[in-house]
Structure 1
Amino acid sequence: MFTLVRTERFEQEIKKSRFLAQAAPAGSEEEARRFIAEHSMPDAGHNCWALRVGDVYRFSDDGEPGGTAGRPILQAIEGQELDRVAVVVSRWFGGILLGAGGLVRAYGGTAASCLKAAEREPIIAYATLSVACAFADEARIRSALGGFPGTRVETTGFTPDGVQLHVTLPRDRADAFIRLAADISRGQAVVEPAGE
């Protein structure tokens, strides 16, 4: 799955109606709804939108016939394997009726074109581990973490025998790190999940 790097805009005219799509990354439903509210155009006839944040998805046809705007926008998001994204498509009516099929193509197509042009980045799932190790092993464990891009490590405390570390790294590398920490410490380091 991917998310957007920054806000993107795309505008087109279809049978004299003007369509403006605006899309942005959103870390939560509240952030997505705030983006939609701030980027809905007050002078547009319709501001149809969709959002997807993990398992949460919502959409609105904003007065267009049911299923002709919000659902196609959501399908554009899902069709491009995007998550944590909000899209609002504003329409200014140009005097020519598009019909249900035309509206589906116009809203979905405008959203898809906007999303296709947007810079995206992969969504990386992280694991957080608690590591208790001897003072003598700390430097070697920290050094080994340099081989795991995207990793953060901080000291969270000390014990009579060593140090407590908090390690955040890509989830798909967690097992490899646990094995490495065991090798470095000769099986003495204690590595436990500390949350996601």
Structure 2
Amino acid sequence: MSEKEFRIIYKGATGEIEEKKSRFIAHIAPVNSEEEAVQFINGKKKEFWDARHNCSAFVIGQNNEITRCNDDGEPAQTAGRPMLDVLLRENIHNCVVVVTRYFGGVLLGTGGLVRAYQAAVQEGLKNCQILSPKNGRECSITTDYNGYGKIEYVLREKNLPILNTDFGADVIISSVAPTEMVENINTIIADKTAGNAVITWDDEIKYDILNGQLLKF
């Protein structure tokens, strides 16, 4: 995983661990604002009102402009901050996590608490669907039928998705490419089709591909 890789939660999940009879249940969800994160946290506190603690952490923004954490009654720096550290270390953005603890009667000590809360978050992340959006541009490629197979080959060779193909008087192929590949794709397709294909690029977006579908962020 690249240190600068931008990762987001596409589908949240829960994860649970047990440590010396205490249950630690992580609830993870995608959020786009501090207000959404606070609403999620308050909702989990209400849902799990009978738990000893509902500790929380969240990160908002492409560059982690907003980070917050709360120990919810646990000793300072033993819950919320360690949970936040996991999100930052994993390069997770726009995400909130609440770890619900049902006390099992055995004190874990500060080190034990840190390890348990971090392990709960890691367990929750394992169950989430995580995407790594990248900067790119959608394109529409218009070609004659002679050029269609050549362009299709180029796109597949470059691991670029074919989002749609419209067969009419000409063939119009829709795709998307990382921004850094745009000029290279222009050159290759022009060469393969003797300049007969017309490529139109849209403005830059942040995107990922899931099950052949284009997702924009």
Q: TM-score range by the shorter chain?
A: 0.5 to 0.7
C-alpha distance 126-138 of structure 1, shift in aligned 2 (>3 A): farther
SS at match of 1:139: helix
CA distance in 2, matches of 1:123, 1:31: 24
Query: Is 1:63 paired with 2:72?
Result: yes
Q: How does 1:64-83 map to 2 (within 5 A)?
A: 64=73, 65-83=75-93
TM-score, reference length from structure 2: 0.62
Give the conservation status (yes or no) of the 8 Å contact 2:179–2:204: no
CA distance in 2, matches of 1:137, 1:29: 49
SS at match of 1:74: helix
Please say which of residues 86-95 and 162-171 is displaced more in the overlay: 162-171
TM-score, reference length from structure 1: 0.67
CA shift digits 1:65-114 (9 cap, x unpaired): 44332210011223344445432211233455555444333322332344
Query: Is 1:28 paired with 2:40?
Result: no
- State, as a whole percentage, how many aligned pairs show the same letter: 27
C-alpha distance 194-87 of structure 1, shift in aligned 2 (>3 A): same
Give the conservation status (yes or no) of the 8 Å contact 1:133–1:185: no
Q: CA deviation at 1:30?
A: 7.0
Q: In the alignment, which residue of structure 2 is the partner of 1:112?
A: 122
Q: How does 1:120-135 map to 2 (within 5 A)?
A: 123-131=132-140, 133=142, 135=144
C-alpha distance 84-137 of structure 1, shift in aligned 2 (>3 A): farther
C-alpha distance 55-169 of structure 1, shift in aligned 2 (>3 A): same
Size of the aligned set, in residue pairs, is 190
C-alpha distance 134-20 of structure 1, shift in aligned 2 (>3 A): closer
CA shift digits 1:158-182 (9 cap, x unpaired): 9xxx787653234564444222222
CA distance in 1, matches of 2:201, 2:142: 12
Q: CA deviation at 1:151?
A: 1.7
What are the ranges of 5 or more consecutive residues in structure 1 without an aligned counterpart?
none
Match for residue 154 of structure 2 among 144, 151, 162: 144
SS at match of 1:49: strand
C-alpha distance 172-38 of structure 1, shift in aligned 2 (>3 A): farther
CA distance in 1, matches of 2:67, 2:154: 43
What are the ranges of 5 or more consecutive residues in structure 2 without an aligned counterpart?
206-217
C-alpha distance 119-177 of structure 1, shift in aligned 2 (>3 A): same
Give the conservation status (yes or no) of the 8 Å contact 1:131–1:164: yes
